[in-house]
Amino acid sequence: MTPQEIFDTAVGGVLKQGHPSVAADGSCVYRDPDGAKCAAGFLLTDEEASGCEGHTIDNVCPVRLEAHVILLLRLQDAHDRAADWCSPEDFPEEFARRARQVAMERYLSATVIDQWEAER
């Protein structure tokens, strides 16, 4: 996958989902009990995601994604900080704002965010 494909898959997935992936205690998780995924979780297979909870993506990154671990960390951070710092109702907008910053830093297109904003 290219960095743009990773960005579009992760960000598009979280925005379409519309809420963070959190455990009962409010902590962010790769997969929550209802099947929601965090940004990095959208790039992991179910097999890869099992046993990853409690670890950042740089500690559990599958070999196929290792070249993109910094991007994945930034997307994971955008998800987790948006989930921690705002209400569930405000999460999508805050995540989109943070993901747009990641796109700018990594020289990626934010078209997936623009499309989401246009469809709301």
Domain edges within the chain = 3-119
65 touches 72 (CB < 8 A): yes
pLDDT of residue 3: 97
- Give the DSSP per-residue string, 36-84: -B-TGGGGS-HHHHTT-TTS-HHHH--GGGGGGHHHHHHHHHHHHHHHH
Element (H, E) at 12: helix 3-17
pLDDT of residue 115: 97
pLDDT of residue 120: 86
Q: What distance in Å separates the CA atoms of residue 65 and residue 6, rounded to the nearest whole number?
A: 9
Tokens found for residue 92: 């999508």
Pairwise pLDDT comparison (53 vs 116), residue with the higher score: 116
pLDDT of residue 52: 84
Q: What distance in Å separates the CA atoms of residue 63 and residue 20, rounded to the nearest whole number?
A: 26
Q: Is the pLDDT of residue 92 over 90?
A: yes
Mean pLDDT on 96-115: 98
pLDDT of residue 93: 97
Coil/strand/helix, residue 95? helix
User: Per-residue pLDDT tens for 25-70?
Assistant: 888 889 998 999 999 999 999 888 888 888 888 888 999 999 999 9
